[in-house]
């Protein structure tokens, strides 16, 4: 494949990633606004909603200009990304300053800062894409990397496979030719059946990441809707109030935000992922301890029967049980890291395209081909 085709293919990959990342920034800003405007947070009472809208619009405009600059393929534009990242870090001062002046809405500001922290974690991984991804390296640095241990160097190579066979008794040649033919046919069928047994591949961290993402974001939708559909089971004695829908959504939104960090660590097979998971579990334990005091306050009012709390706790146990079942292969060592996956900080490279990427020695900008 000549250099023009490689460069054009790299440009298409990078541009599609830029579009996806810009949409991701927009969706995250809108999602943060929806979370902060939940009824129980009372964000409007803080007087910071207009400030949040103004800062968000400026932020989206700056990201749009930055991604347009990155689409040109200029190498120096990549460093402007980290300037924008520092501006995002500086935006932490807005909720911190507001919290110092208004301690009555501390939970609102903590939620705001937590959303900013999640966004910074995502933007960090996005920024690494422009420096570590193969296609980004071709587009910005005009460098084509091929690794010695890359399994895609030879797409026609077939890995060797070892099949363990049980020892059998010594073969005795039958005297009857018909019986000998039957024995040979039986042995051939057994050999084919053993070769047809697929080798079980171990679960990888990126696969666990996808399952974990489906689990936490699925719970964010399923469990609050379930409580809303059967709110008669969670209503008060006078059938006038229901706390379960709002509080279940609070638990699910906290879980979705905090477990987003391990999702990215697992997807990129980062070192220290287990420590991050244990830290998230500790945060969940602390949050559950705080939420237990909230349930006790509901119970002390005498407005709700005991069955409401039993059903609510059972649902929460099921919710955490699903997450535990997903991440248990990582904690128990049954899931394996995929170090090659870290080199592609975005969509996987097309298998049909990679064999065409052949390393060359020199590159001349005035020529249309690489010269040896």
Confidence of residue 161 (pLDDT cuts 50, 70, 90): very low
User: Would the pLDDT of 247 be above 70?
Assistant: yes
Report the run of H or E that residue 15 belongs to, with start and end: helix 3-36
Q: So what's the pLDDT on residue 237? A: 82
Q: How many helices (H) and strands (E) does the chain have?
A: 13, 0
Q: So what's the pLDDT on residue 20? A: 86
* Contact of 329 with 202, CB cutoff 8 Å: no
**Which whole number is the average pLDDT over 287-304?**
88
**Which whole number is the average pLDDT over 54-65?**
92
Q: Which of 39-48, 232-241, 342-351 has the lowest mean pLDDT?
A: 342-351
Q: So what's the pLDDT on residue 174? A: 52
Q: Provide the mean pLDDT of the chain.
A: 76
Q: What distance in Å separates the CA atoms of residue 327 and residue 263, rounded to the nearest whole number?
A: 10
Report the run of H or E that residue 70 belongs to, with start and end: helix 49-70
Burial class (CB in 10 A: 0-12, 13-18, 19+), 140: buried
Report percent pLDDT > 90 for the chain. 14
Q: So what's the pLDDT on residue 164? A: 45
Domain assignments of the chain as residue spans, ordered by start: 3-141, 205-342
Q: And the tokens for 355?
A: 């064999």
**Which whole number is the average pLDDT over 86-102?**
86
Q: What distance in Å separates the CA atoms of residue 337 and residue 265, rounded to the nearest whole number?
A: 11
Q: What is the DSSP letter of 152?
A: T
Q: So what's the pLDDT on residue 225? A: 80
Q: What distance in Å separates the CA atoms of residue 6 and residue 70, rounded to the nearest whole number?
A: 18
Asked whether the whole model's pTM tops 0.85, one would answer: no
User: Would the pLDDT of 128 be above 50?
Assistant: yes
Q: So what's the pLDDT on residue 175? A: 52
Q: For 296-345, write each residue's pLDDT tens digit.
A: 988 888 888 888 899 999 999 999 999 999 999 998 888 887 765 544 43
Q: What angle do CA 236, 292, 228 make, to 5 degrees?
A: 40
Instruction: Give the residue, 174 or 274, on which the prediction is more confident.
Output: 274
Q: So what's the pLDDT on residue 189? A: 56
Q: Which of 62-71, 198-207, 299-308 has the lowest mean pLDDT?
A: 198-207
């Amino acid at each position: 494949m000549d250099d023009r085709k490689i460069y054009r293919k790299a440009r298409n990959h990078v541009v599609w990633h830029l579009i996806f990342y810009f949409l991701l920034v927009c969706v995250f800003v809108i999602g943060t606004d929806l979370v902060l405007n939940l009824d129980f947070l009372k964000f409007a009472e803080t007087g910071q909603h207009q400030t949040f809208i103004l800062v968000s619009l400026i932020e989206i405009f700056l990201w749009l200009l930055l991604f347009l600059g990155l689409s040109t393929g200029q190498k120096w534009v990549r460093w402007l990304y980290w300037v924008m990242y520092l501006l995002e870090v500086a935006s932490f001062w807005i909720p911190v300053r507001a919290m110092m002046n208004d301690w009555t809405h501390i939970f609102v500001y903590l939620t705001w800062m937590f959303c900013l922290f999640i966004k910074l974690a995502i933007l960090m991984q996005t920024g690494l894409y422009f420096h570590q991804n193969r296609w980004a390296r071709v587009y910005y640095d005009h460098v084509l990397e091929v690794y010695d241990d890359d399994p895609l160097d030879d797409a026609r190579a077939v890995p060797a496979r070892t099949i363990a066979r049980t020892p059998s008794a010594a073969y005795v040649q039958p005297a009857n030719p018909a019986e000998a033919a039957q024995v040979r046919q039986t042995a051939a069928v057994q050999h084919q059946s053993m070769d047809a047994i697929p080798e079980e591949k171990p679960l990888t961290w990126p696969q666990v990441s996808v399952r974990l993402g489906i689990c936490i974001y699925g719970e964010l939708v399923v469990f609050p809707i379930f409580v809303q559909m059967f709110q008669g089971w969670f209503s008060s004695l006078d059938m006038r109030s229901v706390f379960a829908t709002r509080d279940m959504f609070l638990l699910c939104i906290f879980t979705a935000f905090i477990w987003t960090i391990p999702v990215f660590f697992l997807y990129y097979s980062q070192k220290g992922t287990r420590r991050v998971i244990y830290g998230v579990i500790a945060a969940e334990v602390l949050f559950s301890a705080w939420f237990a005091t909230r349930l006790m306050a509901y119970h002390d009012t005498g407005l709700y029967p005991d069955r409401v709390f039993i059903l609510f706790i059972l649902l929460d146990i099921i919710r955490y049980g699903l997450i535990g079942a997903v991440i248990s292969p990582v904690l128990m060592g049954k899931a394996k890291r995929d170090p090659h996956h870290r080199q592609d900080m975005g969509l996987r490279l097309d298998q049909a395209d990679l064999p065409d990427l052949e390393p060359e020695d020199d590159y001349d900008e005035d020529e249309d081909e690489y010269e040896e």
